[in-house]
Structure 1
Amino acid sequence: MDELYSIGDVARRTGLSVSAIRFYADEGIVTPTSLTESGFRQYDVHAIARLELVRTLRDLGAGLEEIRKVLAAETSLQELAVTHLRLVEDQLRQFRARRAVLRTMVRQPTTAEQVSLMHKLVSMSDDDRDRLINQFWDFVTDGLDIDPSYPERLRNQRPQLPEEPSTEQLEAWIELANLVRDEDFRTTLRDHFHRVFSTEQGKLMATPEMMAHAERQRRLFLEARAAQQAGLAADSPQARELAERVAASSADMVAAMTGKRDIDKARRAIVEHDPDRAAQWKAKATGLKLLTKYVLLVATINGTPKPQFDQAAATREWLAAALR
């Protein structure tokens, strides 16, 4: 015969209180195995195991009726787990959204209207987010007299929140959504594009041919950055060969614009690059700074590598040293 345990022993074994064990018995969830002549409840190991399962399911958020069905084999543990996993994941998404709003409120002065807006932004559907970004780029690129493929490239740089975004991604989305709704941000960026592409040279830069040249130049620059960060000496033959390829690509790009290819001029442009002057120019280029901010926020939201704009100067100096 199985050993029987008093309700006090069962409480110590299961971690449940005596009152909780009595409650489950009165509700017909786990009834005592037997009663003594004095009316004391006793439980065998099978009943104790059922009570331990009850405690676990309660900790996971299951209701009494759900537990009753599991114990009666009307519902499987897997079916119960699927239902509660879905609920827990929904709650986690809500908590992440709330945390993102609260952390934003802690960092900066926030009005009641802004709190309401932030909560609305983190609760947006994918379609709503797409609509907001499309409206932004419609405004920014309206009236640009350039190849239509370039505005399309801009539109493709869009935020895609993952199904389970981190707090950092939600905070970045709140910041980006506020930016693209901001009239000054939208207008300054639109003015930047209209100014850049108002000349024939600017229009040429937006053509698919020139964008392909720019992409090749970007990939070569990333290759140079990787070599520099890996510790390749600037005075090595490998560094010189890579720097020559960067110069040749730059010369090809200029040739596509002017019809004249001058490799020596391309080399000099790399060797004589003035980082201080470039930094001063970028500091004045408000539109470029805003576009950079947009790109960095999108990278954070999408969980993709961020462009390392701050490391470009070191790579340019490495290329210049390789050509010297």
Structure 2
Amino acid sequence: MDLSIGQLSRLTGVPVKTIRYYSDIGLVAEASRSEAGYRRYDETSLARLELVRALRELGLDLDTAGRVAQRHTELRAAARAHADAVDAQIRQLTLRRTVLRALARGQTTVEEVHRMTAFARASADEARRLMEDFLAAVFAGNPGDPFAERMRGALPDLPAEPTDAQIDAWVELADLVSDHAFRARVKQMVDEGARMRAATNVSDTDRASQAAGAEVVKRASAALAQGVRPDSDVATAIVDRLVAGFAAAAHERDTPAYRARLLEQLRMFSDGRVERYWQLIGVINAWPEQPSIAPAYEWFIAALEHSVRR
């Protein structure tokens, strides 16, 4: 096969100017030159040019397409990397489409526009980096914390076409984990948990500890529903039973000193923002909605505080 640059252009649909440039940079080498100095191409040149054209049509940059064509880069690896990049672009465009359709549905406030555009700017990689940075900050110095694995295994995963509620949840979560005060509070809780485990060899992830916590939710919620005051005699009986569960889990005796320590621990680890964190993760990941446990713990803390003060 002996082709002029014009013939090669007609066969491949690639402009002559482009073929000439590819030849100049060594991407599609000419087979020879005519006596008049014109470039001549053969079947190898044709195959190389068709491969480069196909890769460029798929969106690969010229440098990558050239390295593949010259066998400096494996086609499979280049295709995989580009497919991943295309996936990210598709996801980002899908999110933008979702935001635009939401904006088009009706009257939208300035605040809603800011909220949705902030969401549209957040790519999957940015979301992952934000969460990884948050977890690295709060678990610094405590890599073996039992909650670290749990939190890393429950990262937000936005669907391709999120609902308005999921958009709202993501924007709120991004603000929450970026808040320095929230990070400091969670770090304080992590550090205190590590100190307690080292001192007692008991983890709040132990079954007995979890059972004691579940009992608080059950009995304190019932007390709230029945209108039981935290400073009543009925509350005192409930507190006695709940404290006994925590004391048994911690291998301690129910003494005034223990109750005072338990009260401080409950105050330390009861923070509505942490519960809100998990609620937002649940909305984003479409988990079944769970009732808030904050009111139950607030009642128990108030009742225990009354017991300690007596």
* TM-score category, normalised to shorter length: 0.3 to 0.5
